[in-house]
Amino acid sequence: MQTFVRAIAAGLCLLVSACLTPTSLEDRPFNVGLSREFEADVAHTSIAAIAALRAQSLPVKTQHSADNARVIRFERRTDDQGWGEIGRLIVAPVDVDTTRVTVAYQNRFRPQRTRLTEAEFAAAYFGDLETALARQ
């Protein structure tokens, strides 16, 4: 009986975690999240932004242009380490040689303690982005 209850509880947790989708981040305004400016044009920064996601083993789910910015969504699926995460990058020009990158990131299951907070993720991601820009 206890095994049955655990199986039902695990199934319900999977259903709850599936409710948080990349689309929920898409509805947020572009200025929501943590931002940092980089001294590089938007084309080079966009390429480096994707390279930095790859450095963290985060697959790009979608990318498109909107309001003079590049919108990149990424997602880590549920695995044996946790319930997964979702995120969105906004890569927008400030001027010809400066680009602002804004990160919105969250765990699929908010009480999950094994994954990073948005601030922790952004700090690590921006470091990887700087490295990717330096390699170009």
CATH number for the domain harbouring residue 121: 3.30.310.80
pLDDT above 80 (res 132): yes
What mean pLDDT value characterizes the chain? 82
pLDDT (0 to 100) of residue 29 = 79
Mean pLDDT over residues 41-66, rounded?
A: 94
Q: Up-side HSE of residue 11: CA atoms within 13 Å toward CB? A: 6
Mean pLDDT over residues 82-91, rounded?
A: 86
Q: State the Cα torsion 104-57-63-47 to the nearest 10°.
A: 100
Total tally of structural domains belonging to the chain:
1
pLDDT (0 to 100) of residue 38 = 97
Please tell me the pTM assigned to this model: 0.77
Q: Which domain holds residue 41?
A: 2-135
Q: Which position has the higher pLDDT, 67 or 93?
A: 93
